[in-house]
Structure 1
Amino acid sequence: MSTTIQSGQVGYHVENGIGVISFHHPAHNSMPSPLLQILCETIEQASQDPAAKVIILKSAGDRTFCAGASFDELAAIEDFATGKRFFTGFAKVINALRKSPKLVIGRIQGKAVGGGVGLAAACDYCLATQDAAVKLSELAVGIGPFVVGPAVERKIGTSAFSQMAINATEWYSAHWAMERGLFANVYPSILELDQGVQVLAHNLAQSSPEAMRELKAIFWEGTNHWDQFLEDRAAISGRLVLTEYAKRAIKKS
């Protein structure tokens, strides 16, 4: 199955009990709102697919896992309702990953920025290449990582999240991310990454679905309020994106 929209694409297929969700956008795998909606729906579909015992989330290409939200769309926001709706896109995807009863493996083959870091953090287990540097760039454009923040902070802790949020122009290496728990392992090449992802996915596909479901519930314990929580966070960003500071910073980017 594959859905194409606004030059982007989300695909889904199952093989040997492994459900693979892939996304692509020509602008460094950035995610405009329509593509985020399709991705959310695809995650929900895979979560209910009895043929998929475990899910892999991946993107196309070899340089960037996900560049975050679409800057063209961000620059076009003119009112609060549109702004909140825009930032709710990533909130919905994070919540879809959180609520999936299946374990999700993130295949992070390249750099992740902003919302891309949030996607990685919302996966249950991430494997990456040495080129998968991460950055939370939101403060640099007058906003802040309010929506993805809870997922990132949950995975790497308040101290490391604060460093990324405050130093918003800094790239943090894949090894830095591994040391803080965002990535479970870092590989020298995409070939070795794919081998590692496949071995783990195969092992999980042979594991007890009931046991994995119970583990997933424990991993995400205490987040049942996130549907409203992340929507409230989206409202903060939706308000800030209308400020003169943010408009100037986005225009310069």
Structure 2
Amino acid sequence: MAVLSFQAVNMPSVGHCCSRRNSHCNGVSIIRCGIAEASGEPAPMGQKTKYNDGVFEKVFMTLFARKMSKFSRGRSKETGWLDYDYDSFVDVSKSVMEGRSRQQQQQVVREVLLSMLPPGAPAQFRKLFPPTKWAAEFNAAITVPFFHWLVGPSEVVEVEVNGVKQKSGVHIKKCRYLENSGCVGMCVNMCKIPTQDFFTNEFGLPLTMTPNFEDMSCEMVYGQVPPPFEEDPASKQPCLVDFCSLANPNSSFCHKLKA
């Protein structure tokens, strides 16, 4: 995900800060400006976190939704830069998921990510960011400010990769995408697996994402090779029956995780 921040996309210039608690825009303010909860933290499990999205957030929601809508059964017409909010962005994702296998969903996300990059970007990324400790830590650092709109507030944490301690981990406190969709299948098929594969296979920088379906947090570790799908605990995760309208309470694992 983090590499998308390097692309010069055709969008209006934004320097907007939407935080009710900050009167100026700096690095820290931008990271936190999405949360509208009085505590400044995500809402407890079972409650949906309130966000106060500004121009920056809505531009990226619309950018992603425009790309995704080309594969959906819903609206695909051209829209304005601020026409999508987060709920409509999630709705487009659900539409893309319908009628597609797990592999087909992941392929759609791969194509969307590639479409947002200039030609030759993966090869250039491999040159700029070989799989080193520095590259892993750098990508972790830029994930936090550039993707708060997508996954909510996060922070860089120290992890151990191949016996080496490094600050290449990102702890997402409560994933906004999982919280709003409530769907295990969307989390795994349209975020976790394709993002891991994109970094590991296209960019050559391994990435492992480990969602916690108990509290909707997530751990990202740059530099760590992800396990095969069949060995990943997420592949056997049951539906979140209390949150997902597509849930099958009688299945031992989410039916959207089938091949």
Shared fold, TM over 0.5? no
Structure 2 length normalisation: TM-score? 0.28
Higher strand share: 1
Does 1 or 2 have the higher relative contact order (CA < 8 Å, sep 6+)? 1
Using structure 1 for the length normalisation, give the TM-score.
Answer: 0.28
Higher helix share: 1
